[in-house]
Structure 1
Amino acid sequence: MPIKTPSMFSPIQFKATFLCIIAALVMLVPQSSLAFQQNNAELDYNEYSGEVKEASSNKALVFATLTVEGTNISTISNTEGNFLLKVPKEHISKNLVVSFLGYKTKTLPISDLEREGNEISLEVSVTQLSEININAPKDAMGLVKETLKNRDENYFQDPSLMTAFYRETIKRRRKNVSLAEAVVNVYKTPYNIVREDAVELYKARKSTDYSKLDTVALKLQGGPYNTLYVDMMKYPEYIFSEESLTNYKFTFDRSVRTNDRLIYVIRFNQHEGILEPLYQGELYIDVENKILTGAVFSLNITDRDQAAQLFVRRKPAKVDVWPTEVSYRVDYREKNGKWHYGYSSVFMEFKVDWADKWFNSQYSMTAEMAITDWETVSKDERPKYRQRIRKSIILSDEATGFSDPDFWGEYNIIEPEKSIESAIKKIQRQLRRSERNSD
């Protein structure tokens, strides 16, 4: 049962319609770009792992950004605050920069890190009331409009080839039933042109235990494009087109600091008189430079049947499937005064109700993608159509299993949560057991 996401389908704004067919077989083309050059040297990198926490409460900080200073190498902490960072040996004399919205940025020498068990604590950054009074804009919608208007100046103006890690999971209640991961090339077009980004699949792996799916094979259609189109500064027409801005009420919520920048939090909700399911959430805007640094938002699910039409591509006749929650997140990063897409995620929760069963089942899907490295390239390096993955791809149908222990090599990934990590280890144990039995 393929599932589509409203980052491509909304009854009003979203115009892209690439999820109208079932995914065809993807063509894998050998890569020659600098982003994925193979290095046969043994362990040309050091691997560091640990946790990012709040200094006062010791709570985990989710989606904190960790960057090797002076490079484009970065990763993020996972939903448990854990991180895994692979640093090429040529850069281990540099510093690690750790940042999180509302906290003081910390810089520490990479050479001081242990290979495992690092605990990095960040302190809350306090915003002075006087700063708010002096700099406060008078109109929240006006600030949003000005931010969207300034994207050509504030965001990347050159094409970039980005290395990204992508993961999607499907759970039945708390149990993982499907897991797919991939390293992809993202050819990111400049923010000041309307041409879409392109994605190449480099490596992918998956595991699916359909015995836990109640004979309903839920699949996420669109793969990395589900997360890529959450980049609302590149694709503002999917949520904040000029026509749709008046559908929302924008209000000032609070202010925070990050990287010595004053960030205003703008809340938005659809007007009460609008019946179509639109969005609600928060925008994080650098008030001095009119830059969107991140956003967290969700779909207003007011009509179950209407929401089901947005997401469910195909289902058995005797089954009702509808979303109960759909939420998004996007974070941006800065380099040399210009900003670019850094991380995004989509979370969807579904109810599956069989006509001949007493109880319904609950499933959740998560798709996330993080940019781990990038370089500026010429427009001629845009991949040809036959090299790109289809926008209708179902990654879990295209990927291979978890059999290669050195699958990721030197590429940075998002550290898996404990439940995912244990699922991968279980898969690998089963593979080793089956190999021994075949011998």
Structure 2
Amino acid sequence: MEKSHTLKRCAITLISILFIAFSMHAQTGFTEYNGKVIDGRSNKILEAASLNINATNISTITNSEGEFTLKVPNNYSNSKVIISLLGYNSYVVPLSELSTTDNTIKLYMAVTELSAVSISAYKDAESLVRKVFDDKNKNLEEASVLMTAFYRETIKRRNRNVSLTEAIVNILKQPISSDQRDAIQLGKARKSTDYTRLDTVSVKLQGGPFSTVYIDIMKYPEYIFTDQSIGTYNFSFDNPSTINNRNVYVINFSPKNSFQDVNYIGKLFIDVESLALVSANYSLDLSNKSKTKNLMVRKKPRDIEVYPLEANYKVDYKENGNKWYYSYSNLSLKFKINKKRELFNKVYTLASEMAVTDWEVNVADKKIKNKDKLKPSVIITDAISGFSDPDFWGEYNLIEPDKSIESAIDKIRKNIEKQKKREIKNSSNGKA
């Protein structure tokens, strides 16, 4: 089935990646701002809040602990930064009012009211969703776009981090009208994996940076909503919300029946004025274990069965000049691996996210050479030393690592160093 195939494209794997050094958006000097974003009333940390330099495409997002690092070229020092999050009023502050460290930015929840006329303009929620996809060419850029993005992938076994991959990539985002797939070029990258705790033989999962790019359902609607598949879902209006101080429709969707090979449940956030998709949050329906068993697995031994426990997806878009652009996406997959004749199963969680930190419309029609294009069939080379270098990323914006990830990398690095010492010692004893 086509949908079963596309799910595998949106799932994950351990892959190989060609390492290519480049800098598409080199900067001569920058200032780094650090801090956190919280709810102004509850002081709750706010994850995935967007920080964008006004009148530019330079941006970053907060991590799961609400923390951010924003690197701004010095020629924009007189600019303002816009902080926004779905359901909150945006906040605008001049860079001159921020310190370089320990900033605390408060956002306040927005009260959204849409008149009955606004909703009654559409006879039902499904007709609104169909219009969003039918009229997407009106809201999306007609030219290709060159993007710089930060990619992160983490793997956990049970609750313990065992692998972290980070990379700066260039994306050549093809126009919505093009049949060409987006191209990815790898720049700086680093990876740390504790292979003693990661069973890489039992199962290999499909994915990498392409997994997050393919969640862009406006460019790749075939992965979830086609003219035919829209009819297999129930759509309903939820309470409206706000993003960037603009009203958005909130549409719930769920499968009409469980007979499809792949079903999703989630929410769509649609800008009231432009009818552009602002955000989508959805999950794979995993209630039928017999149907989803081994669904996301590309290759495995015969004595292994893989059961997906969770599969969650998110994609965000940003508006600039009356056009909307892919901005951020993430996925989180949780698997249980059963092996015959073994008493205990193994549970892995793989989280993958991509945040666009700068972009430009490709007016010069630049290309990524075929030899430089990333392929989903290769793996990022281990580069343990990068994690001990605070200046590894230079001027590139990235997602601030969670404290749990930072501590995990320290443990992984120490374990690998111990393993190498043991190997050297055993090798020396063998020669003796």
TM-score for both structures, normalised by structure 2: 0.89
Which segments of 5 or more consecutive residues in structure 2 lack a partner in the other structure? 425-432
2:179 aligned to 181, 194, 204, which one?
A: 194
Which residue in 2 is equivalent to 1:5? Answer: none
Residue identity in the other structure for 1:323: P
Which residue in 2 is equivalent to 1:157? Answer: 142
- Taking a change above 3 Å as real, the CA distance of residues 433 and 316 of structure 1, as seen in their structure-2 partners, is closer
- Taking a change above 3 Å as real, the CA distance of residues 423 and 53 of structure 1, as seen in their structure-2 partners, is same
1:34 aligned to 11, 24, 27, which one?
A: 24
- Taking a change above 3 Å as real, the CA distance of residues 147 and 18 of structure 1, as seen in their structure-2 partners, is closer
Which residue in 1 is equivalent to 2:3? Answer: 10
The farther-off stretch of 218-227 and 356-365 is 218-227
Instruction: Note the C-alpha offset of 1:192.
Output: 2.8
1:375 aligned to 341, 355, 360, which one?
A: 360
Residue identity in the other structure for 2:66: G
1:402 aligned to 385, 398, 402, which one?
A: 385
TM-score for both structures, normalised by structure 1: 0.88
Q: Does 1:246 align with 2:239?
A: no
Partners of 1:156 and 1:69 lie apart in 2 by: 20
1:110 aligned to 95, 99, 102, which one?
A: 95
Residue identity in the other structure for 1:364: T
Partners of 2:420 and 2:201 lie apart in 1 by: 30
Q: Does 1:417 align with 2:407?
A: no
SS of the residue corresponding to residue 144 of structure 1 reads helix
Instruction: Note the C-alpha offset of 1:305.
Output: 4.2
Partners of 2:348 and 2:7 lie apart in 1 by: 27
Task: Verify the 8 A CA contact 2:51 2:81 in the aligned structure 1.
Answer: yes
Taking the TM superposition and a 5 Å limit, the aligned residue runs for 1:13-92 are: 14=6, 26-31=17-22, 34-35=24-25, 37=26, 44-92=29-77
- Taking a change above 3 Å as real, the CA distance of residues 249 and 215 of structure 1, as seen in their structure-2 partners, is closer
Partners of 1:306 and 1:415 lie apart in 2 by: 38
Partners of 1:380 and 1:206 lie apart in 2 by: 32
SS of the residue corresponding to residue 152 of structure 1 reads helix
Taking the TM superposition and a 5 Å limit, the aligned residue runs for 1:20-419 are: 26-31=17-22, 34-35=24-25, 37=26, 44-128=29-113, 131-136=114-119, 137-213=122-198, 216=201, 219-272=204-257, 274-378=259-363, 380-395=365-380, 398-403=381-386, 405=389, 406-419=391-404
Instruction: Note the C-alpha offset of 1:352.
Output: 1.5
CA offsets 1:373-393 (integer angstroms, 9 cap, x no match): 011224641212211011333
Instruction: Note the C-alpha offset of 1:26.
Output: 4.3
Percent of paired sites with the same residue: 42
CA offsets 1:298-334 (integer angstroms, 9 cap, x no match): 1111333432332112223333222111110000001
Partners of 2:258 and 2:215 lie apart in 1 by: 26
Instruction: Note the C-alpha offset of 1:263.
Output: 0.7
Partners of 1:295 and 1:28 lie apart in 2 by: 32
Partners of 1:296 and 1:21 lie apart in 2 by: 22
Task: Verify the 8 A CA contact 1:281 1:298 in the aligned structure 2.
Answer: yes
Instruction: Note the C-alpha offset of 1:273.
Output: 5.2
Instruction: Note the C-alpha offset of 1:224.
Output: 0.5
Task: Verify the 8 A CA contact 2:13 2:206 in the aligned structure 1.
Answer: no
Once superposed, what is the RMSD of the aligned Cα atoms?
2.9
Residue identity in the other structure for 1:317: R
Instruction: Note the C-alpha offset of 1:57.
Output: 1.0
